[in-house]
């Protein structure tokens, strides 16, 4: 199993390298549902559909384009960044190893910094729709770990430390940049769940008691694998809706994509400024 998965990583790495050669970047930005507008301040240099990468699943969710992009930053055209425009989800039927395959592959391509974004439901009462939250920590309720099974020793330790999944220095930098560009950021704990059904009001009450501020169906596996490989991680949630039981409106994915699209302009400014420093 370990050899098969390692071969899958190697094959995907080769396919990407054949198209992108040796890109001048050590950073990947992972876009969540509705985050395409984050690309407004970037110029796409090359793109590759996930379907053209051996071993990559195909994303099936609205708001996830399913492409690996290499972009130049408009503010600093000499700087490039990989963008995973769309991600895979556990609820689509993929294994957690498949969900995190792109992070494994990009590590092979020299990526050392991972910026994760997601749409989430606001649990903490002061989190309003459209707010941008820096992820300080997470709670994993996704039934398992992407590290389950034989350890890939060449990637990281069997028992990796998770005391600081989301890099403290990068979080501080995000707040400093946000202040400079006039964007308000909040901070909190993200809880990752399986989905795809939205949570019940009782579950949200439980999550609040556990210390969660926002809830979503992604990010946690990618963050775990990135840290397993020694990568620096920064995470952002846009509050796309109030969590179940905190609003009278029924929750829908269309609403999530719409609300995230409206809020990405401000967060995009912060992310692009951070990218110029990495």
* Active-site annotation holds for 91: yes
Catalytic residue, chosen from 11, 47, 91, 151, is 91
Catalytic residue, chosen from 85, 120, 241, 244, is 241
Spatial contact of 81 and 112, defined as CB atoms under 8 Å apart: no
- CA geometry: angle at 59 spanning 39 and 129, to 5°? 55
* Active-site annotation holds for 157: no
The answer, yes or no, to whether the previous bond of 159 is cis (omega within 30 of 0) is no
Catalytic residue, chosen from 85, 118, 140, 218, is 218
Catalytic residue, chosen from 36, 89, 120, 243, is 89
* Active-site annotation holds for 253: yes
Spatial contact of 116 and 219, defined as CB atoms under 8 Å apart: yes
Catalytic residue, chosen from 12, 217, 226, 243, is 217
Spatial contact of 67 and 49, defined as CB atoms under 8 Å apart: yes
* Active-site annotation holds for 107: no
Give dist(CA 238, CA 5) in Å, integer. 33
* Active-site annotation holds for 92: yes
Residue 103: in which H helix or E strand, if any? Answer: helix 101-108
Question: 189: closest CA among 244, 124, 251, 260?
Answer: 124
Q: Is the dihedral of CA 190, 134, 61, 54 positive or negative?
A: negative
* Active-site annotation holds for 142: no
* Active-site annotation holds for 64: yes
Catalytic residue, chosen from 33, 120, 140, 244, is 33
Catalytic residue, chosen from 12, 42, 64, 65, is 64
Joined together, the tokens standing for residue 54 give 């051996």
User: If you search the block for the tokens 């979503």, which residue do you land on?
Assistant: 216
Residues in the chain: 278
Active-site annotation, residues: 33, 64, 89, 91-92, 119, 217-218, 241, 253
């Amino acid at each position: 199993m370990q050899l098969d998965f390692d071969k899958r990583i190697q094959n995907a790495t080769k396919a990407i390298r054949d198209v992108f050669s040796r890109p001048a970047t050590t950073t990947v930005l992972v876009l969540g549902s509705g985050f395409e507008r984050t690309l407004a301040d970037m110029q796409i240099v090359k793109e590759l559909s996930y379907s053209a990468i051996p071993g990559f699943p195909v994303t099936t969710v609205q708001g996830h384009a399913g492409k690996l992009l290499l972009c130049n930053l408009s503010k600093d055209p000499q700087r490039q960044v990989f963008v995973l425009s769309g991600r895979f989800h556990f609820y689509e039927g993929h294994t957690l190893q498949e969900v995190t395959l792109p992070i494994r592959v990009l590590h092979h391509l020299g990526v050392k910094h991972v910026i994760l974004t997601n749409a989430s439901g606001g649990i903490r009462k002061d989190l309003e729709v459209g707010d941008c939250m820096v992820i300080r920590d997470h709670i994993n309720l996704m039934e398992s770990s992407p590290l389950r099974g034989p350890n890939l020793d060449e990637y990281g330790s069997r028992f990796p430390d998770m005391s600081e999944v989301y890099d403290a220095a990068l979080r501080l930098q995000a707040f400093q940049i946000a202040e400079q560009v006039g964007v308000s950021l909040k901070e909190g704990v993200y809880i990752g769940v399986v989905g795809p059904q939205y949570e019940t009001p009782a579950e949200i009450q439980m999550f609040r008691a556990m210390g969660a501020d926002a809830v979503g169906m992604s990010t946690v596996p990618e963050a775990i694998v990135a840290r397993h490989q020694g990568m620096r991680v920064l995470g952002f949630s846009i509050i796309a809706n109030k969590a179940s039981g905190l609003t009278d409106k029924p929750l829908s994915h269309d609403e999530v994509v719409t609300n995230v699209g409206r809020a990405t302009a401000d967060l995009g400014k912060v992310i692009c400024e951070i990218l110029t420093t990495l």
